Structure 1
Amino acid sequence: MQLDIRLFAGLAERLQTSVLPLSVEGESITADGLKQKLTELYPEAAAQISVSFVAVNQNYAPGDALITEGDEVALIPPVSGGDGSSSVQEASADGLYCITDQPLSVDEVTSKVLDDNHGATLSFVGTTREMTGEQRTVHLEYDAYIPMALAQLELIGREIAERWPGTRCAISHRIGTVDVKEISVIIAVSTGHREACYEASRYAIEKLKQSVPIWKKEIWEDGSEWKGHQKGPWDPTLPPSV
């Protein structure tokens, strides 16, 4: 069986490829078995592989999930939401969730959730800060597994609608280079009352940072580093701590 494993962020850098071809004996392999095989073949990346999750057909896979030829397989290192290609603009069918390499507009994203019957609207805006302690950031670079990231953003929207019925949610995330003071993410939420609006907005950003396959690389004056729970433990399938 022949598989092509998609790699991202620091894991792709370590193995110097974004697509890793892999030959596997038999007609299937479990997600845990795949990680074990990759660890044996690439011991230099063992630490990163151990804390990564396998995604099969754009869904996080449990360790006993079977992978067969023809599946779309990715190894997802801990997320933190690299460089994006030019003119990237991908959105969900309803337009509420978007990933783009273009500047984001708070007014545009917020307009998607305005409702005549909602008395509360919040827009969370994440921007690049210059100083983290004594470390000066020049800019950030974001990479994403775009189709799965969009699916995970839509899942966040569905979970919010179940927890806070009637809530409207829209999320846009930028990839590629994001300079200091520029916007990397906008989460807009509207509800009938302010308490639910605060809660839903907080849930959205915490869940995004936990499970959406978007990675952030900090570029400094004297170096760079992929951010996130790169040493684990990390489980994107658990509910966020809010």
Structure 2
Amino acid sequence: MGRKGEGSGERHVDAYRVWEVKTNREKRQRLQRLYVRLSSAVKQACKALRKKHGDAFRREPEKFSEELAGEASKTAGLPKGLFYYAVEWRSMVAEARRKSKRRNGFTPPPVPLLVKVVNSGERLHGKGNAVAVLNVDGKELRVPSAGVAVRLKPSLIRAVLEDVERFPDLKLTLQLTARGRLRLVTHREVKTTWWDGDGKLAVIAVDVNSSHGLYLIAFAFDGEAKLVVQRVFKPPNTTMLTARGHYAQLLQG
């Protein structure tokens, strides 16, 4: 997470929720081919804009985002909306290359794609030109440019809808990796809550998505940090009841 809003007196951080969207081998191969077409088109478009605009494009590529998307779309013969984040992705690739210690086998970062949420034909969230569609009533995620439709778990759809309904400024994107894998990502900015470091503070964290069961951990801060408890509550049905009882004991203590 990164800090923002330093100059305004308010501090904000980037908050994300990420869900892996599982696909079979055939769909991954289609998505992988789409990734290759997208990355190749962006590279060729960047080359064309460097030749056309020279140092102006090198210094401030974000000023040419619309032109870059149009050029990449024309090169690949794909919808322009697929290149909405072309400039950002170009910067991500450059940064990843700087940090990578491998000269061979470098894996570029995922391409972010715009997502819209629809239900019974009505658009609930996202831009009209989004190239990925989360269909609530059909319980699927579609990427038409790759000819891919993926069935989604009801719990995943509920989680995404919960964020969409609660946070009007939410950004919803689909990350397409070089290996043809998909991740749904929600992003928003939140205000930070600061602790003065003097008073007593307790932090209790619960990982409800843990594959090992319900994972609970508690810290106490009183001049120094101290791990108070660390527990794993195994499934099945008594998990929540057991965790709730233990949580009550922690509060009483």
Please report the TM-score for the alignment, with normalisation by the length of structure 1: 0.23
- Larger strand proportion, structure 1 or 2? 1
- Larger helix proportion, structure 1 or 2? 2
Q: If you compute each CA radius of gyration, which structure gives the higher value, 1 or 2? A: 2
Higher RCO structure (Cα 8 Å, ≥6 apart): 1
